[in-house]
Amino acid sequence: MTILCYHDLDPKLAELHICVLKQLYNIIPLSTYIDARRRHSVKAIPDKALVITFDDGHKRNYSLLPLLKQHQVPITIFLCSSIVGTQRHYWWLACPDIDTTYALKHLDNNERLHHLAEFGFEENRDYVERQSLSRKEIEELNASVDFQAHSRYHPILPRCTNDRSWDEIAVCKTELENNYGLNIYAFAYPNGDYSTRETVLAKKAGYSCALTIDGGFNTLDTDMFRLKRLRMNDEADINELIVKASGFWSIFERILERGKYIRAQVLNATIFKET
């Protein structure tokens, strides 16, 4: 079973993607797969089953509503509980370039926040323009969207202290359930980064599953707290969509992963050498 991971897909391109995916796959809700895992039965899972997910809760996700209603396509949106419904910002959007963003992801959480402050970013600051879904938009989307948890502020969890990681995982669930009346059973690791600690904390917090962005497909034996997703490009054309949804591209991504740590160290040494 395939799970795709989008973020901030333009509605016009989203319609194209959905039309193509409907021709090639049977799109099912995430909950259908989770229920099948509880029963350890594939009877409810059709051939070529595919789940569509979105991370973060960007405000443009709201514009997908007419499309979802028209095509009756189930999607899951993973929300950052302390950002949605507020004027707070996503930290990576404050970075001046992609290299800086990449470097910050590999710093200790306190160091990351320290450098972000140099760019004028603060986690709890209310900005003039919002970047996330509003409370009203979440309420309107709720009938068509399965909302789940994606931490409170989207830090890189393995770079956090034990207390901060627990807060991001457990309090996110509580906030979404108490503030929006949602049924929260799934957690998506921010940036796809996790360690054994996060899998244990997610289970302890009461989630039924947790999702990574480890490339590959899911079976009835896949670790429920290491479910695999395929990362999708929000600007992909049809050819790229077909290749990435097939899982073929994830083979190359795993090869590229090997050089990520070295690249991060080089970027940190050059970008932050004077601070």
Give CA–CA dist 118/191, Å, rounded.
22
**Stronger pLDDT, 42 or 194, i.e. the higher one:** 194
Indicate the pLDDT class of residue 52, thresholds 50, 70 and 90: very high
Give CA–CA dist 150/73, Å, rounded.
21
Residue type, 24: L
pTM over 0.85: yes
Closest CA to 53 of 232, 223, 197, 174: 232
**Stronger pLDDT, 9 or 246, i.e. the higher one:** 9
Q: What is the mean pLDDT of residues 92-121?
A: 96
Directed axis angle between helix 238-245 and helix 248-257, to 10°? Answer: 80
Is pLDDT above 60 for 266?
A: no
The predicted structure's pLDDT at residue 248: 66
Do 120 and 96 meet the contact criterion of CB atoms below 8 Å apart? no
Do 61 and 77 meet the contact criterion of CB atoms below 8 Å apart? yes
Indicate the pLDDT class of residue 139, thresholds 50, 70 and 90: very high
The least confident of 5-9, 39-43, 193-197 is 39-43
Give the bridge partners for 27, in sequence order: 50
CA distances from 76 to 32, 87, 177 (A): 12, 23, 16
Share of the chain above pLDDT 90, in %: 85
CA distances from 108 to 45, 47, 102 (A): 41, 43, 13
Which residues, including other chains, have CB under 8 Å from residue 200's CB and lie 6 or more apart?
A: none
Directed axis angle between helix 238-245 and helix 11-24, to 10°? Answer: 50
The predicted structure's pLDDT at residue 247: 77
b/e per residue 9-26 (b: at least 16 CB within 10 A): beeeebbebbeebeeebe
DSSP string, 186-255: EEE-GGG---HHHHHHHHHTT-SEEE----S---TTS-TTSB--EE--TT--HHHHHHHHTTHHHHHHHH
Give CA–CA dist 111/157, Å, rounded.
13
Indicate the pLDDT class of residue 244, thresholds 50, 70 and 90: confident
Task: Delineate the domains of the chain, giving CATH numbers in brackets.
Answer: 2-90+128-271 (3.20.20.370)
Do 189 and 205 meet the contact criterion of CB atoms below 8 Å apart? no
Tens of pLDDT, residue by residue over 169-185, are 999 999 999 999 999 99
Is pLDDT above 90 for 115?
A: yes
Tens of pLDDT, residue by residue over 28-39, are 999 999 999 998
Residue type, 210: A
Chain CA centroid to CA 16, Å? 21
Q: What is the mean pLDDT of residues 89-117?
A: 96
Share of the chain above pLDDT 70, in %: 90
The least confident of 14-28, 219-233, 234-248 is 234-248
Alpha carbon distance, N-terminus to C-terminus of the chain: 46
**Stronger pLDDT, 197 or 215, i.e. the higher one:** 197
Is pLDDT above 80 for 46?
A: yes
Give CA–CA dist 229/57, Å, rounded.
17
CA distances from 28 to 103, 194, 270 (A): 36, 26, 45
